[in-house]
Amino acid sequence: MRVASLDLIRGVAVLGILAINIAGFAGPSIGTLSPNLPTPGGIGNEAAYAFGFVLFEGKMRALFAILFGAGLALFINRVEAQGRDGDLLQARRLGWLLLFGALHYYLLWWGDILFAYAACGLIVLLLHRLPPRMLGAGAAALFVVMHLPGLLANLPMVDAEEAVRLGTANPEQTAAVARYGDYLTAAFQREMEQYTGGYLHILATRMQDHPLWPLGSVRDGFGEYVPLMTFGLLLQRSGFFAGAWPLRTMALLGSGATLAGLSATLLSLGWLWERHFPLIAMDTSLRYGLALPHLVTAIGYLTLLVLATPWLGRTRIGQRLAAAGRMAFSNYLGTSLVMTGIFYGWGLGLFGQVDALSQWLFVLFGWALMLGWSAPWLRHWRRGPLEWLWRCLTEGKLLSNRA
């Protein structure tokens, strides 16, 4: 049995994640940190970047992680209701997702998130039968422990960058900031050489330069993904996504969390935009400083969308979003194929040539594709093509996919 709110929210998330991933597709990767690199972008590009920064950055990734945890709980419950071993089948399911994620990284795009989600999902699977309060407290503690020290450790470099900007830096600060800049310049030049080349060249360079990137993504994302997946699992078990919570509680949580999270993000944006998005401060903010506002905003979005599902699900756009959400796996990987085909050298070769404002045209194009094909596909088939393949591999047999 499907949970309508999960499908709809997943649809919002898979569209929203493209609004952030587009900078990574368009290249270079430092463009994810600033609209002013590799060249100054101007007010239009900064405004376009700021729009995504406030509404989508970090929030969509958090939504995905929470939904992933909810999906773990839903899958296990459904399988166990059939008298089968839910944990074993879920472990097999996550094992196949590890493979999909690795292939996604090596064959298509450096920004894969599936491998890290699968690895962190296995950790949550090992712990999911602990008492709910212990799980929740442990997840919250892990979230804090994995973000606060990182923030504190990076603040001296943020101070050094600001001192260089103001002309008050000491020699050590100047040298440290210069080394960071040299590293980014070298990475940019390497990316331009790599991604403007042919497919085999891109693949060979990726294998040579970053063969273990998927493992690094697990290390870097562990402190975010495991807690958020745990929160999602607990929310699903509490009846949150089925609308079992009191309406007043949901309304207060949704409006309060959204307002609080977006307000904190806007405050940060004011400081960052005034300085034209300094790279070290941006990197620190996105990795550590804004982790809590991202989570709070995502919870607000989540709650408001659960509240909106009964009426939004009856509208044309709501049905299109839900269909895109039911096919989120196919849409996520399909987006990588389309966007790398547009930007990489083996396709149209636009890598490094599209500014932050113009990137929104490609976001709208991607949204139109996902909303346009998902519902018609599901009129004829039960699952998206990759969802069906994943299910067959999990079950170890060929399943019918006819609607």
pTM, to two decimals: 0.96
Q: Give the mean model confidence (pLDDT) for residues 156-172.
A: 96
Indicate whether 38 pLDDT > 80.
no
For 66-75, 182-191, 307-316, which range has the lowest pLDDT when averaged over its residues? 182-191
Q: How far apart are CA 337 and CA 359, in angstroms?
A: 16
Tokens standing for 339? 């966007």
Q: What is the DSSP letter of 308?
A: H
End-to-end, the C-alpha distance of the chain in Å comes to 15
Alpha carbons within 13 angstroms on the beta-carbon side of residue 27 total 25
Tokens standing for 45? 């590009």
- pLDDT-based confidence at 400, cuts 50/70/90? very high
What digits encode the pLDDT tens for the residues 328-386?
999 999 999 999 999 999 999 999 999 999 999 999 999 999 999 999 999 999 999 99
For 27-36, 147-156, 158-167, which range has the lowest pLDDT when averaged over its residues? 27-36
- pLDDT-based confidence at 1, cuts 50/70/90? low
What digits encode the pLDDT tens for the residues 92-128?
999 999 999 999 999 999 999 999 999 999 999 999 9
Task: Give the mean pLDDT of the chain.
Answer: 96
Q: Give the mean model confidence (pLDDT) for residues 307-318.
A: 95
Indicate whether 177 pLDDT > 80.
yes
Cβ atoms of 233 and 73 within 8 Å: the answer is yes
What digits encode the pLDDT tens for the residues 224-256?
999 999 999 999 999 999 989 999 999 999 999
Tokens standing for 359? 């990137």
Quote the pLDDT of residue 3: 85
Quote the pLDDT of residue 37: 80
Q: What angle do CA 315, 3, 63 make, to 5 degrees?
A: 85
Q: How far apart are CA 119 and CA 283, in angstroms?
A: 24
Q: Give the mean model confidence (pLDDT) for residues 33-38.
A: 87
- pLDDT-based confidence at 31, cuts 50/70/90? confident
Q: Which of 166, 186, 226, 196 is nearest to 26 (CA)?
A: 196
Q: What is the percent of the chain where pLDDT is above 90?
A: 95
Structure-token match 């079950």, residue found? 395
- pLDDT-based confidence at 40, cuts 50/70/90? confident
